Protein backbone atom coordinates (compact mmCIF):
# COMPACT_ATOMS: atom_id res chain seq x y z
CA UNK A 1 0.00 0.00 0.00
CA UNK A 2 1.27 3.45 -0.93
CA UNK A 3 -0.62 6.68 -0.24
CA UNK A 4 0.52 10.22 -0.90
CA UNK A 5 -1.26 13.49 -0.25
CA UNK A 6 0.14 16.87 -1.31
CA UNK A 7 -1.21 20.35 -0.50
CA UNK A 8 0.22 23.52 -1.99
CA UNK A 9 -0.79 27.09 -1.24
CA UNK A 10 0.62 30.21 -2.85
CA UNK A 11 -0.22 33.86 -2.28
CA UNK A 12 1.34 36.91 -3.93
CA UNK A 13 0.56 40.48 -2.86
CA UNK A 14 1.67 43.69 -4.49
CA UNK A 15 1.08 46.91 -2.56
CA UNK A 16 1.87 50.60 -2.83
CA UNK A 17 2.02 50.55 -6.65
CA UNK A 18 4.56 47.75 -6.71
CA UNK A 19 6.87 49.21 -4.07
CA UNK A 20 6.07 46.33 -1.68
CA UNK A 21 5.87 42.72 -2.85
CA UNK A 22 5.11 39.74 -0.65
CA UNK A 23 5.09 36.05 -1.52
CA UNK A 24 3.94 33.26 0.79
CA UNK A 25 4.05 29.61 -0.22
CA UNK A 26 3.54 26.44 1.75
CA UNK A 27 3.90 22.86 0.67
CA UNK A 28 2.63 19.98 2.81
CA UNK A 29 3.12 16.31 2.00
CA UNK A 30 2.04 13.13 3.72
CA UNK A 31 3.25 9.77 2.48
CA UNK A 32 2.41 6.36 3.91
CA UNK A 33 3.95 3.10 2.75
CA UNK A 34 2.74 -0.10 4.33
CA UNK A 35 3.05 -3.85 4.01
CA UNK A 36 0.27 -6.26 4.92
CA UNK A 37 -0.02 -10.01 5.04
CA UNK A 38 -2.64 -12.15 3.28
CA UNK A 39 -5.14 -11.40 6.12
CA UNK A 40 -4.64 -7.64 5.55
CA UNK A 41 -2.85 -7.21 8.87
CA UNK A 42 -0.22 -4.50 8.86
CA UNK A 43 3.28 -5.92 9.11
CA UNK A 44 5.10 -2.63 8.81
CA UNK A 45 4.44 0.99 7.94
CA UNK A 46 6.47 4.11 7.22
CA UNK A 47 4.88 7.55 7.47
CA UNK A 48 6.63 10.73 6.32
CA UNK A 49 5.17 14.17 7.01
CA UNK A 50 6.83 17.17 5.34
CA UNK A 51 6.05 20.88 5.54
CA UNK A 52 8.05 23.59 3.80
CA UNK A 53 6.87 27.20 4.06
CA UNK A 54 8.55 30.07 2.21
CA UNK A 55 7.99 33.78 2.76
CA UNK A 56 9.59 36.64 0.83
CA UNK A 57 8.95 40.34 1.36
CA UNK A 58 10.66 42.93 -0.80
CA UNK A 59 10.30 46.71 -0.76
CA UNK A 60 11.72 49.55 -2.80
CA UNK A 61 11.81 53.22 -1.72
CA UNK A 62 12.85 56.05 -4.01
CA UNK A 63 15.50 58.30 -2.46
CA UNK A 64 16.91 61.73 -3.29
CA UNK A 65 18.93 62.10 -6.48
CA UNK A 66 17.44 59.09 -8.31
CA UNK A 67 18.74 56.51 -5.83
CA UNK A 68 16.58 53.64 -4.56
CA UNK A 69 16.72 51.73 -1.29
CA UNK A 70 15.82 48.05 -1.59
CA UNK A 71 15.16 45.67 1.29
CA UNK A 72 14.29 41.96 1.14
CA UNK A 73 13.42 39.48 3.88
CA UNK A 74 13.31 35.75 3.25
CA UNK A 75 12.24 32.95 5.58
CA UNK A 76 12.17 29.31 4.59
CA UNK A 77 11.92 26.11 6.52
CA UNK A 78 11.84 22.36 6.11
CA UNK A 79 10.12 20.24 8.74
CA UNK A 80 10.07 16.47 8.44
CA UNK A 81 8.65 13.82 10.75
CA UNK A 82 9.28 10.14 10.06
CA UNK A 83 7.42 7.36 11.87
CA UNK A 84 8.45 3.74 11.38
CA UNK A 85 6.27 0.91 12.67
CA UNK A 86 8.01 -2.41 12.18
CA UNK A 87 6.25 -5.40 13.71
CA UNK A 88 4.88 -3.50 16.75
CA UNK A 89 8.12 -1.51 17.32
CA UNK A 90 7.61 2.21 16.70
CA UNK A 91 10.48 4.65 16.12
CA UNK A 92 10.35 8.24 14.99
CA UNK A 93 12.67 11.05 13.98
CA UNK A 94 12.14 14.74 13.35
CA UNK A 95 14.10 17.36 11.43
CA UNK A 96 13.71 21.15 11.38
CA UNK A 97 15.91 23.26 9.12
CA UNK A 98 15.09 27.00 9.09
CA UNK A 99 16.73 30.11 7.71
CA UNK A 100 15.82 33.77 8.15
CA UNK A 101 17.71 36.17 5.90
CA UNK A 102 17.53 39.92 5.38
CA UNK A 103 19.38 42.17 2.98
CA UNK A 104 19.38 45.85 2.07
CA UNK A 105 20.98 47.80 -0.74
CA UNK A 106 21.19 51.41 -1.82
CA UNK A 107 21.18 51.56 -5.62
CA UNK A 108 22.04 54.44 -7.95
CA UNK A 109 21.69 54.07 -11.73
CA UNK A 110 21.16 50.29 -11.27
CA UNK A 111 24.52 49.95 -9.48
CA UNK A 112 24.91 49.15 -5.78
CA UNK A 113 26.31 51.98 -3.65
CA UNK A 114 25.90 50.27 -0.27
CA UNK A 115 24.59 46.95 0.99
CA UNK A 116 24.26 44.77 4.06
CA UNK A 117 22.77 41.43 4.98
CA UNK A 118 22.28 38.98 7.80
CA UNK A 119 21.19 35.37 8.18
CA UNK A 120 20.01 33.23 11.08
CA UNK A 121 20.11 29.48 10.52
CA UNK A 122 18.65 26.80 12.79
CA UNK A 123 19.00 23.03 12.41
CA UNK A 124 17.50 20.45 14.77
CA UNK A 125 17.42 16.66 14.41
CA UNK A 126 15.84 14.35 16.97
CA UNK A 127 15.76 10.52 16.86
CA UNK A 128 15.87 7.59 19.27
CA UNK A 129 16.17 9.76 22.39
CA UNK A 130 19.05 11.81 20.99
CA UNK A 131 18.99 15.34 19.67
CA UNK A 132 21.41 17.49 17.69
CA UNK A 133 20.98 21.27 17.48
CA UNK A 134 22.96 23.90 15.64
CA UNK A 135 22.46 27.64 15.18
CA UNK A 136 24.58 29.83 12.92
CA UNK A 137 24.16 33.59 12.58
CA UNK A 138 25.92 35.86 10.11
CA UNK A 139 26.02 39.62 9.56
CA UNK A 140 27.80 41.42 6.75
CA UNK A 141 29.25 38.18 5.43
CA UNK A 142 30.86 37.26 8.78
CA UNK A 143 29.80 34.42 11.07
CA UNK A 144 28.82 36.04 14.38
CA UNK A 145 27.72 32.89 16.24
CA UNK A 146 28.04 29.18 15.57
CA UNK A 147 26.70 26.95 18.33
CA UNK A 148 26.28 23.18 18.06
CA UNK A 149 25.15 20.76 20.72
CA UNK A 150 24.18 17.09 21.02
CA UNK A 151 21.57 18.29 23.54
CA UNK A 152 18.62 20.34 22.31
CA UNK A 153 18.34 22.20 25.60
CA UNK A 154 21.87 23.63 25.38
CA UNK A 155 21.33 26.09 22.50
CA UNK A 156 18.43 28.51 22.18
CA UNK A 157 16.18 28.42 19.12
CA UNK A 158 15.85 31.34 16.73
Report whether 90 contacts 118 (CB < 8 A): no
- Confidence band (pLDDT; 50, 70, 90) for 41? confident
CA distance 139 to 158: 15
Residue partners of 78: CB distance under 8 A and separation at least 6:
50, 51, 52, 95, 96, 97, 98
**pTM of the predicted model, to two decimals?**
0.80
H or E segment and range at residue 13: strand 2-15
- Confidence band (pLDDT; 50, 70, 90) for 153? low
Condensed to tens digits (0 to 9), the pLDDT of residues 52-65 reads 999 999 999 998 88
Domain positions in the chain are 2-113
Mean pLDDT taken over the chain: 91
Q: What is the pLDDT of residue 154?
A: 53
Q: What is the pLDDT of residue 98?
A: 97
How many Cβ atoms are within 10 Å of 3's Cβ, its own excluded?
A: 10
Amino acid sequence: MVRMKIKFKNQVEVQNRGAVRQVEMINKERMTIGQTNERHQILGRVQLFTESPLQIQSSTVNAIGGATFQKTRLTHQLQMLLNLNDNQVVTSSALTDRQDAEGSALMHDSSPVWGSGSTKSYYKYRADGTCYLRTVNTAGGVVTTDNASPSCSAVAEI
